[in-house]
Amino acid sequence: MDHFTPFASLAGGALIGLAAVLLLGGAGRIAGVSGILSGALVWPVRAEGWRLAFLAGLILGAALFYQIFGDAPAARAHFPALLLAVAGLLVGFGTTVGGGCTSGHGVCGLARFSARSLGATLVFLAIGVLTAIVVRHGFGVGG
């Protein structure tokens, strides 16, 4: 582990939690990013103002952080574009089948003591570990 950043990680986690609490308290909505994004992309459009504000905040918040601290992550060299595309499609499929993503289940669902979210989060983690092992050792990609 080359870049262990416990304080930045703690601050990031606290901000994610704060955003989830503010969205639930202010709009009565769960901060599941896949659900928010899919709601903004469906036809007829259900892109209420809170969805657009949340998505814009994700993008603008990251851009502002990188402008202030200049610590943008470097692109991974020699990572197959096809593998990235397949991974993106699998993530989209998985969030549909699983009824949500890590932010919806792992942050918001676990905070509400949802047994369904606990199961989904455990599956996310197990598949993530398995995927990392397969990608690193099966495809020889990774650092």
The answer as to whether 84 is a domain residue is: yes
DSSP string covering the chain: -----HHHHHHHHHHHHHHHHHHHHHHS----HHHHHHHHHSSS----HHHHHHHHHHHHHHHHHHHHH--PPPPPTT--HHHHHHHHHHHHHHHHHTTS-IIIIIIIIHHTT-HHHHHHHHHHHHHHHHHHHIIIIIS----
Per-residue tokens: 37: 């994004």
Residue 57 inside a domain? The answer is yes
User: Structure tokens of 18?
Assistant: 């704060």
How far, in Å, CA of 117 to CA of 107, rounded?
9
| Positions of the chain with pLDDT lower than 50, given as ranges | 1
Q: For 56-66, what is each residue's pLDDT tens digit?
A: 988 998 888 88
Domain membership of residue 130 (yes or no) is yes
Residues 100, 109: Cα–Cα separation, whole Å: 10
Give the pLDDT of residue 60: 92
Question: For position 79, what pLDDT does the model report?
Answer: 75
What pLDDT does 115 receive? Answer: 94
Specify the pLDDT at position 83: 82
* Inside any domain, residue 115: yes
Residue 1 domain flag? no
118 part of a folded domain: yes
Q: What is the largest CA-CA distance in the chain?
A: 46
Look at the chain and report how many structural domains it folds into: 1
